[in-house]
Structure formats: structure tokens, C-alpha cells
Amino acid sequence: MTGSRSQWLAGELRERVALGDYGASGALESEAELGRRYDVSRVTVRRALEQLRAEGLLVSRKGAGWYVVSGASFGQSLALGTFQHAGSAVAEAGVPLTRTVVEYGYGTPPGSVAGVLDLPGGTETLRVQALRRTDSTPLDVVTEWVPLALAAPVSRADAEDPGIWETLRRNGHQIAVVRQSITATAALQRIAELLEVPAATPVLLVRRLAVGPDDKPIALSEHRYLGHRFRLEVEFRGWPAAEPPGVAPITGVEQEG
């Protein structure tokens, strides 16, 4: 059991590293704090950390704890634009999309989620997990958290249709900015079961944070898409007046014709 638990914890921590949750300092929680947060033994925590060290993601510093290796994860800003919910791409393809809530309840979120939502430790949130399918085939599993102060209008039925973000918008909570992070990961057991694939199947993890006009987080969603069923596309317009660093201007090219 310890081995499977350590593999599970390594997967959780690997995702957090990929999403940049540890910030500029790169410092992880202490081994004792990780054990309490994930409800695992100190031995399990150490095995998971050692696994990530072997993968080149973490390093331990004597007397200071565990840190993310510099360059283990990069965050590339793409472009500013208008947010469009992923469901619209499915609709444009003329494929029916269904959303089924599989978990709905209140509780204390993981520390990583509380940090992103800027909530004090121990604060409860609404947590909803739903499976989206096109026809009879799974597309993605989405897990969403809403701060308790904003969650009252969101019933289980609302979480299914029209969805959490639209329900919040209809109740006067304006979404001014959406901050999105994208990374690749492997499906852990629960996600794999919902997606009807073997554990460790590649998935695309898309985290979206909805922020209000006052710059306060409103909701957080994490979509885990089957990698072979979904892609994200970005369109760039124009080119800066100055050449990007390391790119030489094109000169002396003969024109055809």
C-alpha cells in the first residue's frame, strides 16, 4: 500500500511543480506538513520526494527542506485575448456535449487550491467534480472549487447545467480576467476510471482561475482532457517592431518573379 500511496503523492506533487504552484522560492512544505495535508505517513512522503528527486524535479537542502529544481517548470505567457469556454469548440463541431456531476460537497480544499484562491488555511469551499462526454465517449474530467462566501447560488443541478461559472455570472459575480495554465500529466486512478482509460494515460491538465474586477479569485477549475481528444490553439496577430532577442533580421533575400 505504501508504494501505491507514494506513487499517488508523487503524481500530485509533480502536477503542482508543473503548474508553478511553488512560486519564485520553489520551497515545498515540510515533510510533516505534506503528511498531514495528504493524510499519508512520513515514509510515504519521503518515498514520493525521493522519486521526484530521481526525476530531477526536486532537490533537498540540508536544514532547509525540499525545493523545486531551477528550470524544472517554465511558464510561458502566450497572448492576451478573449476567453472562450472550451465547450464552445465542441458545439461548433456539431457534437452534443453532456456534463454529469459525480461529486458535490463542501470541505477544506488542498493547500495548493487554497493558495490559488487566496484563502486562509482551513477555509471551506464548494467542490464539484464532473465528467463531460461527447456522445458516449469521455472528453474530460473537471474539478472546480468556489469560495464558501460565493457558493450559495450553486446547486448540484446548476453545477451540471448551466455550469458553475455561468451560475455565478447570472448571480452578479462578474468575471474580469481568466488566468490559465496548461501542462501535461498522467491520469491518476480516480481520473482514469472516469475517463475509462488505464491509470497513467497522458492527459492535458488545464487550470483556469476566474478573477473578479477587484482582482479577487471567484472560482478555480482544473480540466483533465484526454490528450488524444483535445488540443488548444492560439492565434498571434502582428509582429513587434523590434526583432525578438536572438533573431537576426532577414536581409539580402532575392525576390522571385
Mean pLDDT of the residues in the chain? 84
Q: What is the pLDDT of residue 254?
A: 45
- Cα 57 to chain centroid, rounded: 18
Q: What is the CATH number of domain 2-68?
A: 1.10.10.10
Q: What is the predicted pLDDT for the residue at 66?
A: 96
Mean pLDDT of 149-167: 95
**Which residues are registered as beta bridge partners of 101?**
130
Quick check: helix, strand or coil at residue 84?
Answer: coil
β-pair partners for 77 = none
**Residue in this structure with the C-alpha cell 487550470, named with its chain if needed:** 207
Rounded Cα–Cα distance for residues 245 and 121 (Å): 43
State how far the Cα of 92 lies from the Cα of 138, in Å rounded to an integer.
18
**Given this model, what pLDDT does residue 21 score?**
84
| Confidence at residue 76, expressed as pLDDT on a 0 to 100 scale | 56
What does the alpha-carbon distance between residue 122 and residue 115 come to, in Å, rounded to a whole number? 11
* Residue 125 confidence class, pLDDT cut points 50, 70, 90: very high
Mean pLDDT of 71-81: 60
Cα 58 to Cα 66: distance, rounded to the nearest angstrom: 7
How far apart are alpha carbons 114 and 109 in whole angstroms?
6
Query: Please, which residues have CB within 8 angstroms of residue 69's CB and are 6 or more apart in sequence?
Result: 26, 56, 57, 58, 59
Give the C-alpha separation, 115 to 126, whole Å: 15
Question: Residue 60: what residue type?
Answer: S
Tell me, yes or no, if the two domains 2-68 and 87-226 fold the same way.
no
Q: Which three cell numbers stand for residue 153?
A: 447560488
Rounded distance between C-alpha atoms, residue 127 and residue 206, angstroms: 17
Q: Residue 86: its pLDDT value, please?
A: 46
What are the cell numbers at 176? 474580469
Task: Give the residue-averaged pLDDT of 36-42.
Answer: 91
From the list 198, 31, 78, the residue with the least C-alpha distance to 13 is: 31
- Work out the percent of the chain whose per-residue pLDDT is above 90: 50
pLDDT band for position 40 (cuts 50, 70, 90): very high
Fold observed for domain 87-226: Chorismate lyase (3.40.1410)
Per-residue pLDDT band at 69 (split at 50, 70, 90): confident
The full set of domain ranges for the chain reads 2-68, 87-226
Query: What is the reported pLDDT for 154?
Result: 96
Residue-wise pLDDT for 248-257, tens only, equals: 555 544 444 3
Q: Does residue 18 surpass a pLDDT of 60?
A: yes
**Alpha carbon distance 158, 250 (integer Å):** 55
Average confidence (pLDDT) over 135-160: 93
What are the cell numbers at 59? 532537490
How far, in Å, CA of 51 to CA of 62, rounded? 18
100-116 confidence digits (pLDDT tens): 999 999 999 988 899 89
What is the percent of the chain where pLDDT is above 70? 80
